[in-house]
Chain A
Amino acid sequence: DAKTTQPTSMDCAEGRAANLPCNHSTISGNEYVYWYRQIHSQGPQYIIHGLKNNETNEMASLIITEDRKSSTLILPHATLRDTAVYYCMVNNYGQNFVFGPGTRLSVLP
């Protein structure tokens, strides 16, 4: 079973920031938080991951709470091409990646 919970769906206006939450209250100390997204008919795409500190790359920012029980993926200026299903997972070395149903993000014009 997935170790994370996410809202089923969210809407975001084009050009605005999209903030996608994820709860992982049972995360262990050496598990990373990962985010992937899947655009229709394609394989999932890696976005970002982190352990304790906030992370930023060219695609997104990841904010992890101090107790590590939740995180937020931020797409700073959402475009129509960001419409996708976003998956939050926790994983540690030697484990396989368990996907939940994810959050379906719709970016609206």
Chain B
Amino acid sequence: DTGVSQDPRHKITKRGQNVTFRCDPISEHNRLYWYRQTLGQGPEFLTYFQNEAQLEKSRLLSDRFSAERPKGSFSTLEIQRTEQGDSAMYLCASSQSGGDEKLFFGSGTQLSVL
């Protein structure tokens, strides 16, 4: 079990640039979640997939954010035209759906927008 891996670990970009993050879930897990976390706050839900279907998106997720999970395995989160307010830790988690599913998180991607 290699756990959930995220890449890159850190990303520094200039305002207005596009960035893409990758998440590789635990292989047998069918659900994949994206969260965002700013300093001193708990993780904030962004979106989740069951297999390749995106089942829910937070209403807080602007149209500059898009996520994909094309083959039901790894996922990418893209942010277009980054803003300074996008600076945060982006966390990915995976789980196996069920009545008492447990999320397993990656170490996150720390984004800094200058």
Interface residues, chain A, with chain B CB atoms under 8 Å away: 2, 30, 32, 34, 36, 41-46, 49, 51, 85, 87, 91-93, 96-102
Contact = CB atoms under 8 A, between A and B. Distances in A.
B99 A44 contact: no
Contact-residue size bin, chain B (C-beta under 8 Å from the other chain): 20 to 34
Q: Give the one of A85, A92, A96 with max B CB within 10 A.
A: A96
Most buried by B among A42, A97, A101: A97
A96 B56 contact: yes
B65 interface: no
Given A49-B100, A51-B100, A96-B48, A43 B42 contact: no
A58 to B, nearest CB: 15
A38 to B, nearest CB: 8
Interface of B: 4, 33, 35, 40-45, 48, 56, 91, 93, 97-108
Contacts of A34: 102
Q: Which 5 A-B pairs have the closest CB atoms?
A: A43-B105, A99-B42, A99-B43, A96-B45, A46-B102
Contacts of B35: 99
Contact of A44 (B40, B56, B98, B105): B105
Given A49-B100, A99-B43, A101-B42, 10 more contacts: A36-B103, A41-B107, A44-B91, A44-B103, A92-B99, A93-B99, A93-B101, A96-B45, A97-B45, A101-B41
